[in-house]
Structure formats: C-alpha cells, structure tokens
Chains A and B, each alone.
Chain A
C-alpha cells in the first residue's frame, strides 16, 4: 500500500520507526539539493540533510497529523540551515563558489549550459530566503499557503515575497545576458 507522507509520519510516531526510511527515500535528494543550492558544498549539504533526519527521528513525537509533512520537514530544514549558518559565522553559504560571468568558458559550453551558469549566478545573488522560496514553489510545487507555514507568516506575506523575488531574479538574470 502506498502511504502518504503524513500517514508514514503518524506510523513512525506510533512506533513504526522503519517508516522514516521510506520518507528518507522520498526526501533525501530533494533536501540535499535544497541545501546544495544554498551552500554549493556537497559534504556540507549531506551533513545538513542527515541533520534534518536526525531531528525528525528525535522530535517525531512533536509531529501532529494536522501538519503537512513537506511544510514540516522544510521548516526543520530551514532551522538546521540557520543553526549551522549561525555557528560557523563566517563560513557563509557558497555564493562565492559560483562562477562569475567572466569565468564562464563560453567556447566549451553549449548555449543551454551557458544559460544554466547564468541562472546560477543570478540565483547566487538572491538572499537565503529568496533562494529557499524559489526551491519550495518551483521544485516542491508547494502552494503559497504551505510555504507560509514553513516561514511562519501569512499567505499574503509569502505572495508578496515571491513576487519580489521573481522580479529580482528576472532583473539580475537578464542584466547578466545584456552585460555579456
């Protein structure tokens, strides 16, 4: 039987810990990439992903059936990221690991690859919240209301943030193309 994320988490809470293994299979790559988009560091992204699952196991009793699982796990992921960011102080997320436009070797890359590199540069110029918002709405296809739960604010506030974020991204993305 194909259980929903919420059902699996309820079962885990009731003592069937093996259910968390299925949740791991469903979410580990997504979470890893959520962190990788922000840190550009494979090892650190794995550590952060592992940390999220440690917290899910540890705090499984706190999960309530009313909570959307994706929103819950991303709220944990945001906290994990914030904690690491705070502890390390100056080992900042890896925007510096993204190439600058001058570093892109145009001769060896295809047009699609160049566009992709440009997008990485544009994304790297967004702040952490903005990068996370894009991840949640584009890759997780979360609704504004769900994202609002993760960010602990109103749906209206999230809507306004998304509008602002996408306008910023567009401005930077096309500026890079024009400046080329």
Chain B
C-alpha cells in the first residue's frame, strides 16, 4: 500500500490495533513519511474543527406535528374491525362480479372506439407539429400524454421533435413526453443517441435523469464521455456522474 494511503487509513481510524502500532513504528523511522503525515494531520485537524450549525426550532415542531399525524392515522387504521373488513370484502366481491360481467359485454365496442379515437389524436398531433409557434408545437406534443400504451406513430413523432426541433423548449417537452414510454427500446436508443448530440443543458439534464432513472446501461459510455469532456459545464458533469452512480451502483 502506498504511504499516503496508509496515512489516510491511520488518521481515519480504519486500521486495526496491530496495524496502527506497526504504522507508528514506521513513522518513527521514516522522516519523509513523518513529514507527509504532519501535513495530513494539519488538514485533518481543520476538518475535525468544522463547527456544526444548529437547525431552527421549526424543524423539531414540524417533525412533532408529522409524527402526531402519523400516530393518529395509524390508530384510525387499527379501528377497522373484522366485521368492517368482512362487509367491505362482501361489497368488493359483488362489485368485481358486476364489473367482470359488464366488461365482457362492452369490451368489443370499447376497443373499436379507442382505436378510432387514437387515430384522431395521432393525426391532430402530427398536424399541430407543423405549427410555427413554439407553444403550438409543445401543445401538440402534450397530446401524447393521452396515450396509455405507446403508439408507434406517436413515438416516432416525439423522437423526431426531440432530435430535430430548433427550439430547446420543444425538445425538452419531447423528452418529457417520451419519458412516459421510457421502457420502450426505441425510446431508450433515441435517448442515448441524443445524449451525444444535445447541446442545450436543460435538455441534456432531462436526458441524463431519464436514462439513469431507467438504469439504461447503453448510456454508460456517453455519460462517461460527458464527465470527462473539457467543454461541458461542471453541473452537467456532476449530473452525469450521479447518473452513472445510479446505473452502475458504484
């Protein structure tokens, strides 16, 4: 182990008793080590003298209020008797049976209605994407929030906006809309590609957050590239670093 590491382990109190004794003996014999040790000790002394700040009394009173509320709520939960639970269960069972029977009757017509509604939404969205105003295009993108499952056409439109729209606000809105479908491979791949091309810090950070939240391993290389780049702001590098921690669990 190098000498500096030994000094740090000693001052951190991470050595065993035997290791500490051995290190102290080395310290006596080695003047270079002794000198290096003195500089570290000076710095450690400074670190240990950092004064602790006191939080305001509001913190305690807020916490007391929070705890009291939780205690009251947990008492209420306990007052649910077996009889109550039995009644609730019976009502729930009747409702479930009713829903199942009704669902079978209405399922077919419901699906066809959804299909035609979705098609209308997609064409409306595509039409409005040609709007000249930024707010008009953002509004168009927001239509995608009405889709619970990913429609291919919707994803393609969103990805196109994220890649090509000249306004960073529209690109950011596209990233946020795509975030709802971030489990889709096509979306993840588009995010990773965009990570290397995007220049706007807001959009870049949104991409980093989404990719790290989803633990997309393909993003590791571009994220590492960001952390090492010279022309990237420190706060973006920090965000990329935190993203890597989330993905790699380092």
Residues of chain A having any CB pair with chain B under 8 Å: 15, 17-18, 20-21, 24, 28-29, 32-33, 36-37, 42, 45-46, 49-50, 53-54, 57, 82, 85-86, 89-90, 92, 112, 115-116, 118-119, 127-129, 134, 137-139, 141, 143-144, 151-153, 157, 159, 162-163, 166-167, 169-170, 173-174
Contacts and interface: CB of A to CB of B under 8 A. Distances in A.
B242 A144 contact: no
Interface in B180-212: 201-202, 205-206, 209
Nearest to A36: B53
A24 B250 contact: no
A115 B66 CA distance: 40
Interface stretch (B21-29, B39-47, B82-90, B144-152): B39-47
B54 interface: yes
A134 B8 CA distance: 12
A116 B14 CA distance: 25
A49 B58 CA distance: 12
A163 B74 contact: no
Contacts, number: 121
Interface string B47-78: 11111111110111011101100110010000
Contacts of A167: 4, 8
B48 A24 contact: no
A116 B53 CA distance: 14
Contact of A89 (B62, B70, B202): B202
Given A28-B55, A46-B59, A153 B67 contact: no
Interface residues of B, number: 47
Contacts of A115: 46
Main secondary structure of the interface of A (DSSP, over half): helix
B215 interface: no
Contacts of A166: 8, 12, 40, 43
A29 B55 contact: yes
Contacts of B245: 129
A27 to B, nearest CB: 11
A18 B62 CA distance: 15
B46 A119 contact: yes
Contacts of A137: 12, 14
A17 B250 CA distance: 34
Nearest to A90: B235
A32 B60 CA distance: 12
Contacts of A86: 209, 239, 242
A46 B54 contact: no
Given A28-B55, A170-B40, A144 B14 contact: yes
B13 interface: yes
10 closest A-B pairs (Cβ-Cβ)?
A32-B55, A119-B46, A46-B59, A163-B5, A166-B8, A92-B235, A152-B249, A33-B52, A17-B71, A57-B70
B74 A17 contact: yes
A24 B8 CA distance: 32
A173 B43 contact: yes
A42 B56 contact: yes
Contacts of B5: 163
Given A153-B250, A170-B40, A53 B71 contact: no
Contacts of B58: 46
Given A42-B56, A163-B4, A15 B74 contact: yes
A18 B71 contact: yes
B54 A21 contact: no
A143 B14 contact: yes
B50 A128 contact: no
A138 B49 CA distance: 10
Nearest to A31: B55
A94 B66 CA distance: 28
